[in-house]
Chains A and B, each alone.
Chain A
């Protein structure tokens, strides 16, 4: 589904991503792990268009999308979440999700300003989609609460819900469960599995090894901007390079 070839990102003298090749297959949950500073978030920023690569190419369903702007990536179905939980804090939970339904149905500038019947229909459709997502994510009981008043667990859930509202085909989660308690970790990771079952491919960066090992089909390990290992959870767990990278020996 997604193919990355020779991807390189330099920040001045620092090479954050160094000639990386990797693929993400349709329908899988792929875990991306590695020590701090390995370049995981940079990789996400490159794939979602928040950064432009120095070199290399990114192919999404065989089409070259290297260097596109984030909103164009989103239009293709590549939707991400952010490490520092990113919400619309003044909006209610429901408004957050409706706001994320921007692309489908797409908001037309003129029809929205003139309040045409078409735009009203789109708004109703967005509301009904939001309702589905609220129910799917268990946020329906909190839909009228302002987002900034949610507990940290529900905030993370909401940031996944926002991404779902944007109609992802490839959902990229940047540390969705780091620092959460085990119960909440299981809740969010179960949600992610259900998303995958609905046909969405998932890539997840995470430091919580239990979450990665329990829920991912495949793991890619990065260190210093390079891929040092790749494979099933079992293969990665026993890989010497991975152990060395994590323990520093």
Chain B
């Protein structure tokens, strides 16, 4: 079989495997981790989209909270359907990104990153202080779970078990990845990458760089908002501290450890860095050390992330053969 034919086959096999997981992972606790990994994947991949345009956003947690609060409040105060709220939550993050994007993208490099840090802090402070609307530090509790999907006689998904949420998350993440992959393969991504490499050159050949940088930021934040909206319905609690600066840094670490050069880098990074610390739960308070150790090992030995491991190994063995 040719290599070209193997790829789609192995992807379909992987997706079928993911759909079968609840058959052998039955504990709600483990399914919970799978679902959190899905959220991590969506955040890290959408962060990479922004990063592709040469911008380092540190507002991803903030954008996630915009999606979470917007969708939760729309359902709780206005009685909107949870499914519509999911989309509106994502759109709210995108609209905010579009509005603040134009002034923000005037800042270059590290200044842009700093600008997004302030944006994230502002969002958090508003969530903490606007007690009447957001519930302040305590946040919103009793956020409704997704409305049941009922097809009489066939299907009745009421989201009372983690398995239902697992499938919800899986479909959502796969859809998000499909869209992100379509963007990745388009000429839009080539424009993002050209801006990342040389903004002045891109500008000189006619690219409206401000517009495309805002576009990348907006699209990336859309998926952060979507992840947040899902999170609110899954956890049923939304607090300012759920999406703090530390969470943003975690998402950045997922992307960096996985490797931002490849599309699947952040996916690998998020999955490994979410499952690995969980698998060493017996270490208790030393658990974060595992996370830090992985990060440091990758930075020292695989500066381009885990996706560069096969290539590195190949080079390593070739060198050894030469010396032998």
The chain A residues found within 8 Å of chain B, CB to CB, are 48, 50, 69-71, 74-75, 79-82, 86-91, 95, 98-100, 102-103, 107, 109, 112-115, 119, 122-123, 126, 162-163, 165-166
Of the four ranges (under 10, 10 to 19, 20 to 34, 35 or more), the interface on chain B belongs to 20 to 34
The chain B residues found within 8 Å of chain A, CB to CB, are 182-183, 185-188, 190-191, 193-194, 197-198, 200-209, 215
Q: Are A163 and B205 in contact (CB under 8 A)?
A: yes
Which listed residue, A75, A87, A91, A115, touches B185 by the CB 8 Å rule?
Answer: A115
Chain A residues whose C-beta falls within 8 Å of the C-beta of B202 in the assembled complex: 99, 102
Ranked nearest first, the 5 interchain pairs of A and B with the lowest CB-CB distance are A74-B206, A166-B205, A103-B206, A100-B205, A112-B186
Q: Are A91 and B197 in contact (CB under 8 A)?
A: yes
Which listed residue, A48, A69, A115, touches B182 by the CB 8 Å rule?
Answer: A115
**With A and B bound together, what is the CA distance between A79 and B200 in angstroms?**
12
Say how far A137's CB is from chain B's closest CB, in angstroms: 15
Which listed residue, A75, A88, A113, A114, touches B201 by the CB 8 Å rule?
Answer: A88
Which listed residue, B188, B190, B207, touches A98 by the CB 8 Å rule?
Answer: B190
Say how far A161's CB is from chain B's closest CB, in angstroms: 11
Say how far A198's CB is from chain B's closest CB, in angstroms: 18
Q: Are A88 and B191 in contact (CB under 8 A)?
A: no
**With A and B bound together, what is the CA distance between A162 and B201 in angstroms?**
9
Residue of A nearest to B190 (CB): A99
Say how far B49's CB is from chain A's closest CB, in angstroms: 12
Contact of A107 with B188 at beta-carbon distance under 8 Å, contacts A90-B197, A91-B197 already known: yes
Q: Are A113 and B209 in contact (CB under 8 A)?
A: no
Chain A residues whose C-beta falls within 8 Å of the C-beta of B188 in the assembled complex: 107, 109, 112-113
Which listed residue, A82, A87, A95, touches B190 by the CB 8 Å rule?
Answer: A95
Which listed residue, B187, B197, B204, B208, touches A82 by the CB 8 Å rule?
Answer: B204
Residue of B nearest to A81 (CB): B204
Say how far A95's CB is from chain B's closest CB, in angstroms: 7
Contact of A165 with B186 at beta-carbon distance under 8 Å, contacts A88-B194, A91-B193, A99-B194 already known: no
Residue of B nearest to A99 (CB): B194
Chain B residues whose C-beta falls within 8 Å of the C-beta of A165 in the assembled complex: 205
Residue of A nearest to B208 (CB): A71
**With A and B bound together, what is the CA distance between A165 and B188 in angstroms?**
17
Q: Are A103 and B205 in contact (CB under 8 A)?
A: yes
Which listed residue, A48, A80, A112, touches B187 by the CB 8 Å rule?
Answer: A112
Chain B residues whose C-beta falls within 8 Å of the C-beta of A103 in the assembled complex: 205-206
Which listed residue, A74, A112, A113, A123, touches B205 by the CB 8 Å rule?
Answer: A74
Chain A residues whose C-beta falls within 8 Å of the C-beta of B193 in the assembled complex: 88, 90-91
Q: Are A113 and B186 in contact (CB under 8 A)?
A: yes
**With A and B bound together, what is the CA distance between A121 and B94 in angstroms?**
30
Say how far B123's CB is from chain A's closest CB, in angstroms: 27
Q: Are B197 and A88 in contact (CB under 8 A)?
A: yes
Say how far B132's CB is from chain A's closest CB, in angstroms: 39
A-B contact pairs, 27 of them (CB 8 A): A69-B208, A70-B204, A71-B209, A74-B205, A74-B206, A79-B206, A82-B200, A82-B204, A86-B198, A86-B200, A89-B198, A90-B197, A91-B193, A95-B190, A99-B191, A102-B202, A102-B205, A102-B207, A107-B187, A107-B188, A114-B182, A119-B186, A119-B187, A126-B187, A162-B205, A165-B205, A166-B205
